[in-house]
Every structure is written in structure tokens, then in C-alpha cells.
Amino acid sequence: MRMAYELCLATAGRQVPSGPEWIHEVKHDGYPMLVIRENERVRLLSRNGTDWTKRCPWIAEAALKDPQKHFAIDGEAVVLGVDGISDFNALHSRKHDHEV
């Protein structure tokens, strides 16, 4: 499936870049995800274009609560463990889809 947007891919680094021209984010242990909202329609797309909207209803519901009606967010879907750290095994198991 050809997508209008492309996800950014994580790049390993030895140190956090500094200076006003740099932005960065922490890479959690999850799946890259694109959240697209067009009015009342929300789609969650994986890196290869698979629609995960039904698999991750919590993210879709949160997108609908945003006052903006049109946006695309390049992010990462994760399941957090009780310690607040992302748990890839829980995400991959599909037993915690309602928590993604």
C-alpha cells in the first residue's frame, strides 16, 4: 500500500545531539505508528501500511478527543509495564491491545 506519509526510522547514536537545529526523541520498545485524523475518521497505520485502528482503540479514541480535525502524528505504539517501562513482549503478544 502506498502511503501519503512516511514514518521516520530510528537511528542509533552515541550521544544526544545538542544545539537549536536538533530535535530527538527517546526510542521505546514498541511499533512505529502513524496516526492520521481526517475529521471524524482516524486511522492507525504501521510502517508497512497495515491498518491497526481496531487493534489500538485507545489511541484512536485519544485522537478523536484532540480539538484539531486534521493531523498526522508519527509516533510509537507501546504497552507500559507496571514499572512504567515499555514492554515489547506484552505488545507483541496481542493480549494487551486495549492498553496500547
Q: Please give the Cα distance from 56 to 35 (Å, whole number).
A: 11
Catalytic residue list: 27
Q: State how far the Cα of 71 lies from the Cα of 41, in Å rounded to an integer.
A: 11
Task: Give the pLDDT score at 51.
Answer: 94
Residue ranges and CATH numbers for the domains of the chain are: 31-99 (3.30.470.30)
User: Measuring CA to CA, which residue among 11, 25, 66 is closest to residue 42?
Assistant: 66
* pLDDT digits (tens), the chain, 100 positions: 456 777 777 677 788 778 888 876 677 788 889 999 999 999 999 888 899 999 999 999 999 999 999 999 988 899 998 898 898 998 888 888 778 8
